[in-house]
Amino acid sequence: MLKLDSVKSLLNRIELQREKQKDYRNVVATQIVIVTLGLTLYSPLLGDPNSDVSKLLITLFSGFGGLYAFLLWDLLRNFTQSKILIVTIFFVLVSITIFGILIEFPYYKVIEIQNRQAALFAIHGFLFPIEVIVISYAIRDIFMGQYFTIDKLWGSACVFLMIGISFGSLYDLICISMPGSLGADIPLGIPNYSECVAYSFHVLGGIDTDYPDAHKLIKNISVIEAVWGTLFTVLIIGNLMIKPKPPEENQPEN
């Protein structure tokens, strides 16, 4: 009987690892698309946000942003059994995704917002704490357990990219509160957010940014991001070297 329970527990653990590995991969793939859009396709957005190309890019960015929000929620379900937290975050993400797409839809005004700046602040004000919650759960998952499994390796990549995107949300919040904080006159919304994401990954990668005249608060927070990103990388490398791989029968299939 004890052996049967042990086998069931092992199977459940392997199944959970497979599910987390799949969810981590999905999030990483979406993050790569968002980061790529933010880093390479910003020129039309800054040049003419109302051009046909810019409208298409805004639509793509919004679509992948909505997908990213759903995948964050799906990933969170692997870490907690709290139905209150899961349901609350689900409704918050659905609400801000729908609201954000409606006010940012580039082809025609779906809804009229008197104070667009406050609306954008509310969207990122709800999104950033959720990103922090998911990051904290994912970090705990990565460093828990006796072995360093493949799902934890995907989780490390996911968290690293999530750090860059979440700090991008924080920089965007600052720019919404104090327009021009990046040191340039950038339209609020998708154009400014894409630039904030690009700025964040410049900081995370140790590369000089395009905005040396950014606000002092952003510069100070970017130092925190750089230190945190480096520390996370060091901890992951140390964890990978110290923890052995699990026995073959305990590893989920790739």
Confidence band for 247, pLDDT divided at 50, 70 and 90: low
Cα–Cα distance measured from residue 69 to residue 90, given in angstroms and rounded to the nearest whole number: 9
Q: Which pair of structure tokens corresponds to residue 26?
A: 């999905």
Cα–Cα distance measured from residue 37 to residue 16, given in angstroms and rounded to the nearest whole number: 32
> Do the beta carbons of residue 149 and residue 246 sit within 8 Å?
yes
Q: Which pair of structure tokens corresponds to residue 191?
A: 């154009």
pLDDT at res. 245? 62
Distances 170 to 58, 194, 222 between C-alpha atoms, Å: 20, 12, 10
Confidence band for 244, pLDDT divided at 50, 70 and 90: low
Average of per-residue pLDDT across 85-99: 91
Please determine, for residue 156, whether its predicted confidence score (pLDDT) is greater than 70: yes
- Residue-wise pLDDT tens digits, 222-231: 999 999 888 8
Confidence band for 11, pLDDT divided at 50, 70 and 90: very low
In single-letter form, the type of residue at position 241 comes to M
Cα–Cα distance measured from residue 167 to residue 132, given in angstroms and rounded to the nearest whole number: 10
Q: Among 145-149, 159-163, 244-248, which range has the highest average pLDDT? A: 159-163
pLDDT at res. 8? 43
Contacts of 27 (CB under 8 A, 6+ apart): 68, 71, 72, 75, 158, 162
Q: List the chain domain ranges.
A: 22-245
> Over the chain, what is the mean pLDDT?
81
In single-letter form, the type of residue at position 46 comes to L
